[in-house]
Amino acid sequence: MKEHPFIYFLPFFLLLYAPPAHSCSCGGPYDTVFCQAVDAGRHIIRGKLVERTHPSFARVAVLENINRNIPHDTITIMGQDGVNCGENLYLLSEGAEYVLALIPLTGPDTLMLFGCSKNFYPISDGMVLGQIIPGLTNMAYETLRDNIADILACTFAGPSFVSEANRWNILAGWFSIQTGNGRLYTEIYRFQDTIQRNGQVYHKLWMTEDSVLQDWEYSGQAFREGPPGKVYKYLPQREEEELVYDFTLEPGEEIIYGGYNSGLFVSNVDFIQLPDGSLRRRMLISLGLDTISTVYWIEGIGSERSTFEPIGSFVLDAYIELLCYYQEEALLHVTDYADRLGGCYRVIVGTEEESNFISWEVFPNPATDVLSIVFRRPATVPLHLRLLNPLGQVVRAQRLPAFAERASWDVAGLAPGVYFVELLEEGKRVGGRKVVKH
């Protein structure tokens, strides 16, 4: 029987490579992290398994070089389970495509794929399957190819939520379908400038209602990007930060805010393609374990409802709906709300935005310590005033007698941000104002 030439290299190779002391029955390519299993010295290709010539050998078509060049259209690869496991390639399927990390072996067109379940990753529907970097599972092939240096260094951050290149148009306000009363308007948000707190750098979130992007105001909110897929918000009241997004969660996992269970669960995960060709991870978030009430979170874009306070995604007291998302002023995502309303910038005033018999003002705006409400034309009936935070939670409330002319709240202890003053008459909302707390 003719011996394979590799047998003469085997004793020397075993001295250089000590395989792990565990079973040779590998579970697949999902047990290890690509960036920790593969280094920059490997030849990394997109390859298609043409045929298996032996349980331990196969011919592979080189479709594209990703890292270091292999100057051949077709190569022979050996191994998968490590030398001590018989180099069986049974986990690879003929006709399937993979990202393969290889080292030269015997001859210019023969390379080795070794390391139990470490050095190959299937490609399906344009996605590289497996854990690519800690906390990031599955990735568009083009993203892996174009960012291979950062990925091999385990530093790839994915699409950034906290970036000055991003802009969000959000529909805010209130509107009653029953009465036709209300006002809906567009708030535009972007990041600019930074602050430092507790050794961390946070990007300040600014907003405007100006369609030509003038007259920006600081919203009082600041965010930073953490490990891949995680976004933190600084809470000045507590002088600490809180995790507001984790785009790496998997179906069935619960979202945790401030160390507490939120009641929000990841129901499903898929990917959407944006107009620039990039793929973004999309998570379907549900209130509880059912999928009746749901909202989408999109990697780098955020929640399609209550984008900057995602824990309030299911608070329905007011509109906080994402209309459109831009990157470098290119429109990349349009929600169903924008489609229904006919654009990325909308102002809608109801037939009776508020009672014609009440004239009132809120000042100062922005407010710091005290927020005052003055009635220029007092109501002839008792009124109920409420101050709502971005989650739709009532943080201040006051009942006023008929003909009241003034009211005020101490707001010094409230966190900076956007609040809503709500005016009710006999339980019916008859007016609303937005106020910024500095």
CATH number of domain containing 402: 2.60.40.3080
Q: pLDDT band at residue 223, thresholds of 50, 70 and 90? A: very high
In a domain, 209, yes or no: yes
Check if the beta carbon of residue 304 is closer than 8 Å to that of residue 325.
Answer: no
Closest listed residue to residue 100, CA positions, set 66, 73, 56: 66
In a domain, 235, yes or no: yes
| Domain finish residue from 300, 320, 349 | 349
Instruction: Report helix, strand or coil for 185.
Output: strand
Where is pLDDT greater, at 344 or 6?
344
The answer to whether residue 115 scores a pLDDT higher than 70 is no
Which tokens belong to 352?
Answer: 């009776």
Q: Tens digit of pLDDT for each residue in 17-56?
A: 333 333 444 544 444 688 888 888 889 999 999 998 887 7
Q: At 356, phi and psi to the nearest 5?
A: -70, -15
Mean pLDDT, rounded, for 125-154:
84
Percent of the chain having pLDDT more than 70? 79
Rounded CA gap, 186 and 314, in Å? 20
33 plus 141 within the same structural domain: yes
Q: pLDDT band at residue 222, thresholds of 50, 70 and 90? A: very high
pLDDT for res 290: 66
Residue 75: give its domain's CATH number: 2.40.50.140
184 plus 279 within the same structural domain: yes
In a domain, 161, yes or no: no
In a domain, 160, yes or no: no
Rounded CA gap, 91 and 97, in Å? 12
Q: What is the mean pLDDT of the chain?
A: 80
pLDDT for res 342: 63
225 plus 280 within the same structural domain: yes
The answer to whether residue 238 scores a pLDDT higher than 70 is yes
Closest listed residue to residue 43, CA positions, set 129, 97, 94, 111: 111
Q: At 360, phi and psi to the nearest 5?
A: -145, 155
Rounded CA gap, 133 and 152, in Å? 8
| Domain finish residue from 288, 314, 349 | 349
* Element spanning 26, H or E: none
Those residues with Cβ within 8 angstroms of residue 1's Cβ, 6 or more apart along the chain or in another chain: none
100 plus 206 within the same structural domain: no
Instruction: Report helix, strand or coil for 410.
Output: strand
Rounded CA gap, 297 and 283, in Å? 5
Residue the block writes with tokens 């009082």: 220
pLDDT for res 71: 92
pLDDT for res 30: 43
The answer to whether residue 107 scores a pLDDT higher than 60 is yes
Where is pLDDT greater, at 214 or 275?
214
Where is pLDDT greater, at 271 or 261?
271
Q: Among 181-190, 353-362, 417-426, which is the least confidently predicted range?
A: 353-362
Q: pLDDT band at residue 348, thresholds of 50, 70 and 90? A: low
The answer to whether residue 131 scores a pLDDT higher than 50 is yes
Q: Among 216-225, 244-253, 370-379, 402-411, which is the least confidently predicted range?
A: 370-379
Percent of the chain having pLDDT more than 90? 31
The 10 Å CB-count burial string (b at 16+, else e) for 390-423 is: bbbeeebeeebeeebeebebebeebbbbbbbbbb
285 plus 330 within the same structural domain: yes
Q: Tens digit of pLDDT for each residue in 292-329?
A: 778 999 999 999 999 999 988 876 656 789 999 999 99
The answer to whether residue 3 scores a pLDDT higher than 50 is no
Strand pairing partners for 131?
Answer: 33, 137
Boundaries of domain holding 398:
359-437
Q: How many domains does the chain have?
A: 3
pLDDT for res 64: 96
Contacts 24+ apart (CB under 8 A), 10-16: 10/83, 13/83, 14/83, 14/84
Q: At 52, phi and psi to the nearest 5?
A: -95, 115
The answer to whether residue 277 scores a pLDDT higher than 50 is yes
194 plus 257 within the same structural domain: yes
Strand pairing partners for 436?
Answer: 418
191 plus 337 within the same structural domain: yes
The answer to whether residue 5 scores a pLDDT higher than 90 is no
394 plus 302 within the same structural domain: no
The answer to whether residue 4 scores a pLDDT higher than 70 is no
Distance of CA 209 to the CA centre of its chain: 25
The answer to whether residue 374 scores a pLDDT higher than 70 is yes
In a domain, 98, yes or no: yes
345 plus 225 within the same structural domain: yes
Rounded (10°) CA dihedral 70, 72, 78, 81:
40
How would DSSP label each residue in 90-152? TTS-TT-EEEEEEEE-SSTTEEE--STTTSEEEEETTEEEEEEETTEEEEEHHHHHHTHHHHH
pLDDT for res 66: 95
Check if the beta carbon of residue 32 is closer than 8 Å to that of residue 117.
Answer: yes
179 plus 86 within the same structural domain: no
Q: At 146, phi and psi to the nearest 5?
A: -75, -15
77 plus 189 within the same structural domain: no
* Element spanning 75, H or E: strand 74-78
**Given the DSSP bridges, would you call strands 74-78 and 110-112 parallel, antiparallel or unpaired?**
parallel
pLDDT for res 156: 77
308 plus 427 within the same structural domain: no
In a domain, 217, yes or no: yes
Instruction: Report helix, strand or coil for 8.
Output: helix
